[in-house]
Amino acid sequence: MAENTVSTVAEPCSGYVADVASYRQAFRRYLADLDWAQEWRAATSTSAEDQMAHDAGVLARLYQAGWNRYGWPHAAGGLGGNEIHRATYYEELGRAGLPVPAQHWTLETLGPALLAFAPAVAQAHLPAYLAGTEWWGQCFSEPEAGSDLAALRTRAADNGSDGFTVNGQKIWTSQGPTATRLLVLVRTGPADSRHRGLTMMMVDADTTGVTIRPIALASGRRELAEVFFDDVRVPRDRLVGEVGDGWAVAMYLMQFERGMYGYALLTTMLAELATLRSQISVQGTSGTNRDRFARTYIEVVAAQARAAQTVRQLAGGQTIGPGSSVDKLLFSSAEKRVQDLVFDVRQAWMINGEEPAHRGLDAARAQWWYSRAATIMGGSAEVQRGLIADHILRLPKQIRR
DSSP per residue, 297-310? HHHHHHHHHHHHHH
Beta carbon of residue 27, minimum distance to ligand FAD (angstroms, whole number): 29
Answer positive or negative: Cα dihedral of 344, 99, 307, 201: positive
- Neighbouring C-alpha atoms within 13 Å toward the C-beta of 282: 6
Q: Note whether 30 binds ligand FAD by CB under 6 A.
A: no
Residues 6+ apart with CB under 8 A from 298: none
Stretch that binds ligand FAD, among 141-149, 233-241, 261-269, 319-327 (CB under 6 A): 141-149
| Sole binder of ligand FAD in the list 63, 72, 89, 140 (CB under 6 A) | 140
Residues whose CB is less than 8 angstroms from the CB of residue 222 and which lie 6 or more positions away in sequence, other chains included? 47, 48, 49, 177, 214, 215, 216
Work out whether 146 is an interface residue with ligand FAD (CB under 6 A): yes
Binder among 138, 178, 296, 332 for ligand FAD (CB under 6 A): 138
Which residue's Cβ has the minimum distance to ligand FAD? 146
- Indicate which residue of 257, 272, 299, 382 is catalytic: 257
Q: Which of 382, 391, 392, 395 binds ligand FAD (CB under 6 A)?
A: 382
Site string for ligand FAD, 332-371 (x = CB under 6 A): ----------------------------------------
Q: Are 163 and 212 a contacting pair, CB within 8 Å? A: no
- 272 catalytic? Reply is no
Query: Amino acid identity, residue 378?
Result: G
- In whole angstroms, the minimum distance from the beta carbon of 142 to ligand FAD comes to 8
CA 317 to chain centre: 20
Q: What is the largest CA-CA distance in the chain?
A: 68
Binding status of residue 71 toward ligand FAD by CB under 6 A? no
Q: How far is the CB of 366 from ligand FAD (least distance, A)?
A: 12
Q: Which of 144, 194, 132 is nearest to 172 (CA)?
A: 144
Residues composing the chain: 401
383 binding ligand FAD? (CB under 6 A): yes
Strand 181-187 and strand 136-139: pairing?
Answer: parallel
**Is residue 43 at the binding interface for ligand FAD, with CB under 6 A as the rule?**
no
Alpha carbon distances (Å) from 307 to 106, 138, 320? 18, 22, 11
- Name the residue nearer to ligand FAD (CB basis): 48 or 266: 48
Q: What stretch of H or E contains 156? A: strand 155-158
376 near ligand FAD, judged by CB under 6 A: yes
**Nearer residue to ligand FAD within complex by CB, 292 or 372:** 372
Rule CB under 6 A: choose which of 67, 89, 90, 172 binds ligand FAD: 172
* 379 scored as a contact of ligand FAD (CB under 6 A): yes
Q: Please state the closest distance from residue 377 (CB atom) to ligand FAD, in A.
A: 4
Residue choice 150, 248, 251, 377 for contact with ligand FAD (CB under 6 A): 377
Taking CB under 6 A as the binding criterion, the range among 3-11, 96-104, 188-196, 373-381 that sits at the site for ligand FAD is: 373-381
Secondary structure of residue 95 in the 3-state scheme: helix
Relative orientation angle of helices 361-371 and 324-345, to the nearest 10 degrees:
140
Among 5, 7, 25, 147, binds ligand FAD (CB under 6 A): 147
What's the one-letter identity of residue 15? G
Q: Does 224 bind ligand FAD (CB under 6 A)?
A: yes
Short-list 162, 138, 132, 164, CA closest to 152: 138
CA distances from 189 to 141, 156, 266 (A): 18, 9, 39
CA separation for the pair 299, 364 (Å, rounded)? 21
Q: Is 141 among the residues that bind ligand FAD (CB under 6 A)?
A: yes
Residue 174 sits in the site that holds ligand FAD (CB under 6 A): yes
Give catalytic residue positions: 257
Residues lying near ligand FAD in the complex (CB under 6 A):
138-141, 146-147, 172-174, 224, 373, 376-380, 382-383, 386
